[in-house]
Amino acid sequence: MGLFVLVGGLVQVGVIATLGQAAVGAVGDRYLLAATGLLFGSAVLGAFVDNIPYTAAMAPIVENLVAAAPDPALGQPLWWAFALGADLGGNTTAVAAGANVVVIGIAARHGQPISFWRFTKYGLIVTAVTLVLAWVYVWLRYYAFV
């Protein structure tokens, strides 16, 4: 709950808007680069930060990027890249998603404990493969045949 209050405060004082404008300036007209950065950056951050507060904090920044696009069709892949990255990053570590914590608890109760590092060893592989597939999807769907 505290993270949502923090994000709301950052929105109110203009920090999120400033970050959004900085992102717009950094992206320029390089939307494939922006989608790639959102996909992989969201996954890396999502591996260590719960994806719900992260998504709440980043959504206004992505909204600024999408709004700055001269054509709404250029902005749509940014939302997809952001959503896929935040979601798939939750597969990386045991603490990245609530479902991971629940499964580790259930496994331990049934005599099959899963350590943080064991989960992460497999999670990194799963996340890397799915991120590459997601990037290929975004590239083929929105950029390859434009």
Distance CA 51, CA 87 (A): 7
pLDDT in tens, 42-100: 999 989 887 788 888 888 888 888 888 888 888 899 999 999 999 999 999 998 888 89
* Under 8 Å between Cβ of 33 and 132: no
Q: Hey, which bits of 2-142 come out as E strands?
A: none
Residue type (1 letter), 44: V
Extract the tokens encoding 53. 């507060």
Average model confidence (pLDDT) for the chain?
A: 89
Domain locations along the chain: 2-143
Entry pTM:
0.85
Helix/strand/coil for 47:
coil
- Helix pair 31-46, 116-138: axis angle to 10 deg: 160
